Chain A
Amino acid sequence: MRNPLTWLRRNLVVIAGLGTLAYMILPNVVVTVFSFNNPTGRFNYAWQEFSLDAWKDPCGVADMCGSLSLSLQIALWSTLVATALGTAIAFALVRYRFRARGAVNSLIFLPMAMPEIVMAASLLALFLNMGIELGFWTILIAHIMFCLSFVVAAVKARVLSMDPRLEEAARDLYAGPVQTFVRVTLPIAAPGIAAGALLSFALSFDDFIITNFNSGNTVTFPMFVWGSAQRGTPVQINVIGTAMFVIAVLVVLAGQMVGNRRKKAQPK
């Protein structure tokens, strides 16, 4: 560290990278700090005084926890269905040669290559024309639709890197097709399926644009936050935001720890 300029140049990447990380984490810090605020007006944008009120009574705001549990239900169901349908598609695409494979590939890719609002609006056009009432079911249908492509992408990546010789070996050892799939194929594909499921849960739980178009009067958690930006934001929103961040970090860290232990246990 004789020359500070040389030091700076050598560590430029680290400094710039950590700067970006700070930019990404800053709003989370603000959300956390302001969950301990006691705002005077309707809006929680300026710091007033420290208070634990919101943390003591996180569901103290009308309709907020209801919307939260609705979002969780929708995210769980759409993850379940999208993961099942998407995993099947991914296996078909990687493991089989069939006609229309190119067409199927593009059909899967298109929802990811389109601005969300275009899909949101076209679904609304469908539901309006068919006279379908907007609500829980239309939200669920929409979420399964856009989560599907992401699951296929995640599972496909994993299945592509699988060694088919392992399944051949299982078959040589007289395992039936079902046994091979359950005991060999599925465990190896599991990280990809888990990644797809996690991604679709996060996407569904956090989705705003498609839900905004297709929810009618049903209020999911993002819809509640959106409404509160106009009416006045209760501090409890920050409590939920903080709790979600902490839970997410813990879940992902725990998942990685399990993955690492498995890797170590596996002889190379």
Chain B
Amino acid sequence: MTTTAAPPQAPASTEPPVHKPSVRKRLVPYWLLLPGILWLLVFFVLPMVYQASTSVQTGSLEEGFQVTWHFGTYWDAFTEYYPQFLRSLLYAGTATVLCLLLGYPLAYLIAFKAGRWRNLLLVLVIAPFFTSFLIRTLAWKTILADGGPVVAVLNNIGFLDVTSWLGMTEGDRVLATPLAVVCGLTYNFLPFMILPLYSSLERIDTRLHEAAGDLYARPATVFRKVTFPLSMPGVVSGTLLTFIPASGDYVNAELLGSTDTRMIGNVIQSQYLRILDYPTAAALSFILMAIVLIMVTIYIRRAGTEDLV
């Protein structure tokens, strides 16, 4: 953002005016940053260092753990739990795609068609943030109960035959199957998809739609060539905000799934809090972090929107 190259009739720059700052003034940003950054360094970066050291320790709970630079834990943890890793990525990926498919029409509706209902719809999207997500996840147990109306309908229209064939359900049950876990994940992370989508759709100038229509583009073409490309920043940040937390979640798999649907989050949780095998738990969570960071980096490169942050 340089102001020197601006043409003379350009609107006034939004850069702060450049003075020759005194030493005291130059220190202002550092004073502003100090407390918050210190907090993050001590309670975000330092814990990572401690976890890294934990992951290369060996020992037992009784005799204590010592750093022995035993990197084998990583390999052992990965080979033992790669099904859970794969499952997490699969469930989180499916939920992200479903969130995008379900969330886009609603975001579009709120941004372009809601009129005076816009505020109410937005409130209904945000309100779940403020009510306990655990309670709402438990409500899915009632909704998807065996022999309940939802399962009966899904069974009658042959939906469960398809999902059984895909390995997402078993028989005429939904609860305790992968479908229930994916349903819960999709539900829980929908607001994180809808809000970024909405804010990028809302910024689109609707005159572009009219212009496209004047040029004889059909509605589908307008969407494909104008609306969707312009909403890409929202799509990218929405999918990230959905996929990243979903990949580490263990609440949905625990409440709505069974032992066959355990995700990597469930493993890390029980290793840390029940089995108390700290090195394995630490190694697992670093592997998860590495996988997610690599996937996110590749994805952002591919999507070509690096100015998200």
Contact = CB atoms under 8 A, between A and B. Distances in A.
B78 to A, nearest CB: 16
A31 interface: yes
A89 B103 contact: no
B288 A27 contact: no
B39 A144 contact: yes
B39 A145 contact: yes
B209 interface: no
B297 to A, nearest CB: 10
A105 B307 CA distance: 12
A88 B136 contact: no
A190 interface: no
Contact of B16 (A88, A95, A129): A95
B109 interface: yes
Given A98-B29, A148-B39, A164-B16, A118 B248 contact: yes
Secondary structure class of chain A's binding surface, majority of residues: helix
B43 A141 contact: yes
B305 interface: no
Interface in B250-309: 250-251, 255, 265, 268-269, 272-273, 278, 281-282, 285-286, 288-289, 292-293, 296, 309
A14 B35 contact: no
A145 B45 CA distance: 11
A226 B119 contact: no
Contact of B255 (A144, A229, A249): A229
A114 B289 contact: yes
Contacts of B53: 129
Central interface residue in B120, B132, B278, by most chain A CB within 10 Å: B132
Contact of A27 (B139, B247, B293): B139
Given A18-B109, A226-B134, A122 B296 contact: no
A25 B133 CA distance: 12
B245 to A, nearest CB: 6
A57 interface: no
Interface residues of A, number: 90
Interface string A6-31: 00000011101111110111111011
B14 A229 contact: no
Nearest to A225: B134
Contacts of A249: 123-124, 127
A23 B109 CA distance: 15
A125 B106 contact: no
Interface string B114-143: 000001110111111111111111111111
B154 interface: no
Given A14-B113, A248-B127, A85 B43 contact: no
Interface string A198-235: 01001101101100110000000110011001000100
A145 B136 contact: no
B17 interface: yes
B36 interface: yes
B44 A110 contact: yes
Contacts of B285: 117-118, 121-122
Given A30-B139, A119-B47, A108 B40 contact: yes
Contacts of B269: 117, 212-213
Contacts of B204: none
B17 A164 contact: yes
A37 to B, nearest CB: 10
A46 B147 CA distance: 11
A24 B189 CA distance: 10
B206 to A, nearest CB: 14
A66 interface: no
Contact of B51 (A115, A121, A203, A252): A121
A18 B110 CA distance: 10
A73 B37 CA distance: 24
12 contacts: A16-B109, A17-B105, A17-B106, A20-B103, A24-B125, A88-B32, A115-B249, A129-B54, A145-B39, A164-B17, A209-B250, A253-B120
The 7 A-B residue pairs whose C-beta atoms are closest, nearest first, are A115-B248, A17-B109, A248-B130, A16-B105, A85-B36, A96-B29, A122-B47
